[in-house]
């Protein structure tokens, strides 16, 4: 989610994933339009992978889920303010009313 990455970079970041499993997952993510792959070497064929627009849209919710999981497992949480190190909080925001809805419930209308 941090920008374009080569296969080896992804494999190292994922800690021990088998190359065939990573290849399968990247191909699936390409097939459903979340990742694009551009060649940076023809011989041997090597690709750089990057999130597409829909993939970037999905990155936010995935970060929220990772943060939630980290906190439930006793971790510090994943997303922090770079300037001061404070954990960030997600809020529901109405851009029309310019209002934060702290407790989604009756104020939240589902489509």
For residue range 7-60, what is the model confidence (pLDDT) as tens digits?
999 999 988 899 999 999 999 999 999 999 999 888 888 899 999 999 999 988
Q: Distances in Å between the alpha carbon of 16 and those of 1, 8, 46, 101? A: 19, 11, 20, 41
Tokens of 83: 């300037």
Predicted structure pTM score: 0.67
User: How does pLDDT run across 70-99, given as a tens digit for each residue?
Assistant: 878 876 666 788 899 887 877 888 889 888
Contacts of 8 (CB under 8 A, 6+ apart): none
Tell which CATH architecture fits domain 5-53. Orthogonal Bundle (1.10)
Q: How confident is the model at residue 104 (pLDDT cuts 50, 70, 90)?
A: low
pLDDT value for 103: 65
Of 91 and 110, which is predicted with more confidence?
A: 91
User: What are the boundaries of each domain within the chain?
Assistant: 5-53, 60-101
Q: How far is CA 1 from the centre of its chain?
A: 5
pLDDT value for 45: 83
């Amino acid at each position: 989610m941090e920008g374009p990455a080569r296969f080896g970079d992804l494999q190292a970041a994922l800690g021990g994933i088998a190359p065939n499993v990573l290849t399968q997952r990247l191909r699936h993510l390409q097939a459903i339009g979340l990742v694009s792959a551009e060649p940076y070497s023809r011989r041997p064929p090597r690709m750089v992978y990057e999130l597409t627009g829909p993939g970037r849209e999905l990155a936010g919710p995935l970060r929220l889920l990772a943060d939630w999981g980290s906190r439930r497992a006793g971790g510090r949480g994943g997303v922090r303010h770079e300037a001061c190190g404070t954990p960030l909080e997600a809020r529901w925001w109405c851009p029309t009313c310019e209002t934060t809805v702290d407790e989604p419930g009756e104020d939240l209308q589902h489509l």
